Amino acid sequence: MRKKWTWIVPLTLLILMLPLLIESSYFMHITILAMIYIILATSLNLLSGYTGLLSLGHHAFYGIGAYTAALSVMRLGLPFLLALLLSGILPMILSYLVGKITFRLRSSFFAISTIAFAEITRLVSINWVELTEGPMGLPNIPAASIGPLVLNSYNKQYYLVLILAVSSIFLSYRIVNSHIGRVFKGIKDAEYVAISTGVNIDRYLMIAIMAGAFMAGIAGGFYGQYMKFISPDVFYFQMTVNMVVMVIAGGLGTIGGPVVGAIIFTLAPEVLRFSEGYSFILYGIALILIILFLPGGLWSLLKKVKNLFKNSVYPNNSEIEGSDNLK
């Protein structure tokens, strides 16, 4: 047990001191984007990673969250924290309706119907000009203020998004390590058997999608005030593609996977910038290689490396089959 904690202290310190270490505002911006994606990938992972229902409309919750927070601050003059809360709650309510309709579908049929839902929200955001200003977008969203504290610097924004990201990782950890998580795995593993045990499948899928929508909405709420501008682009399909890539490449159905995936795939386009038009090709090749050779995602690679290290230090401590599950 003690060994497990040794790496957590330096890691926590590193994360807390990151703004001091990074001087360039450009890198701070990338770091904050990575944090937003950590929340998004973690939220998608609850439904798609753990229960196995691939949602391709998850960005809709993010977009609705972004508009909800921005509009309730700008039009209704609500304090930021309340607006942020609303930006989680409204998508959560909508996700309930989406779930009611789509949970009778599975696999690609479910995926397609969630795309349809997201497209509807995108079209509404473009055409409901009275509310959203349409394609013009909402400029001049005021920066978040909590009491007298105005988050007007990258560093302050970083700490807010850090709190949000850590909370969503924690929330999702608590969910999947409870009896709810066991049902999620059961549904993914053998839905037929899960039904036979008398589990109300829809109820558990609903928990997954609603918790996911809540987190994604909060991420959107944060994004709006951080960028100070939102437009119907937040409903762009690429958002979900990014999230799905992060979850799959990071490791479906693990807590660490989406986090690793989000960090790497936010950094990758920036690192690959020198390659100009080829960056998407490299991105694609990387993804194919990961799927082919690391079906468990990058997280499983980290684990393998860790085990390798362990075995070389204690040559007699060979890994027992299936003992992964006991930890």
Partner 1 sequence: MMLEMDKVCAAYGPSQVLHEVSLKIHDQEIVTIIGSNGAGKSTILKTICGWLGTTSGQIQFAGERIDNNETKDIVRKGISISPEGRRVFPKLTVLENLEMGAYVCTKREFEEEVERVYQIFPKLKERTKQLASSLSGGEQQMLAIGRAVMSKPKLLLLDEPSLGLAPVMIDTVLEAIKIIKESGVTICLVEQNAQLALEIADRGYVLETGKIVLEGMGRELLRNEKVKNAYLGL
- Contact between 179 and partner 1 per CB under 8 A: yes
- Contact between 327 and partner 1 per CB under 8 A: no
- Contact between 303 and partner 1 per CB under 8 A: no
Q: Which of 150, 195, 241, 288 binds partner 1 (CB under 8 A)?
A: 195
Q: Site size for partner 1, by CB under 8 A?
A: 20
- Contact between 146 and partner 1 per CB under 8 A: no
- Contact between 199 and partner 1 per CB under 8 A: yes
Q: Which of 60, 85, 194, 247 binds partner 1 (CB under 8 A)?
A: 194
Q: Which of 10, 147, 148, 198 binds partner 1 (CB under 8 A)?
A: 198
Q: Given the complex with partner 1, which of 75 and 182 has the nearer CB atom?
A: 182
**Touching partner 1, residues 21-50 (CB under 8 A):** none
Nearest distance from C-beta of residue 309 to partner 1, angstroms: 24
Q: Which of 90, 98, 111, 183 binds partner 1 (CB under 8 A)?
A: 183
- Contact between 200 and partner 1 per CB under 8 A: yes
Token match 């890691």: residue? 11
- Contact between 148 and partner 1 per CB under 8 A: no
- Contact between 322 and partner 1 per CB under 8 A: yes
**Touching partner 1, residues 48-67 (CB under 8 A):** none
According to DSSP, the residues that pair with 149 across neighbouring strands are 146
Vertex 218: Cα angle to 216 and 219 (nearest 5): 65
Q: Which of 93, 116, 190, 281 binds partner 1 (CB under 8 A)?
A: 190
Which of 213, 212, 87 lies closest to 141 in space, CA to CA?
A: 87
Nearest distance from C-beta of residue 192 to partner 1, angstroms: 7
- Contact between 197 and partner 1 per CB under 8 A: yes
- Contact between 100 and partner 1 per CB under 8 A: no
- Contact footprint for partner 1 (CB under 8 A): 179, 182-183, 185-186, 189-190, 192-200, 321-322, 325-326
